[in-house]
Structure 1
């Protein structure tokens, strides 16, 4: 599918957050009602089967995960930065393109056997997505796939997910 209309709505900001990084800013796409709706519809079209949960990673992943969960009639599983959830959690450390961090989810958020689609705005090195995948699998969830608005294939994150047996879809690649 040609997603040049979506690509045209994504702004590139050079040297953010540090020199040499070409930051793909989705706020311009989100400001466009048709573009945002089209991105959610196209992400939904790529989901196979009926997931029980749509997992979104903090923070921009929440935007697409919430819209997609509503569109598909699924629950919304929030995967947050460590220390942000009030209940008992499980956590995973991970590396990202500019440092290290830790993700967490409530221990009771994903029941064993739940079918879960992972959604985020962007896949780069894959650290965040792999940590989310480990959390979902530790809870007994089954990953139906991973959907992203943007893929940065030169950074290899989508290939890492595929090596874990996860089908990866993205709408725009840079």
Structure 2
């Protein structure tokens, strides 16, 4: 007989799969679509870079909180990080639907550094979606041991994505059209 936790976990896993596939697909589709006659939202990149920086700070603060036994604060900080990541995504897509993509203008080895950081940032930002959702779901299933195990992988990847988002912005910002 299947217990209630297994049923809930299967339900969570179905939604995690759907969301983890849908978000990158929708972002890819919307990234290539330009809203006709839309005013460019050129003010957004520094805002969503700041959101990435804040997410990185809150991720670190959340880890410190849980290590100090402040479970409630940890949960609030992690929920805030998920909200900030979603807000970032909405702003990022809105910017790219109203503005032309900016070409990185650096030359020499720094160009390869930039593209390496950008590539790993994009790939890991896709990979972190199911990791965050699985890690978060374990709390609702009261499976704190699994939550801790998943968090050991999710945290550094999510932190990398947040920090490299800021680095990418700093590196490309001199080339934005004003």
Q: Which has the higher strand share?
A: 1
Q: Give the TM bin, normalised by the shorter chain.
A: under 0.3
Which structure's residues are more often helix, by fraction? 2
State TM-score, norm by structure 2. Answer: 0.24
TM-score (norm 1): 0.25
Q: Which has the higher contact order (CA 8 A, sep 6+)?
A: 2
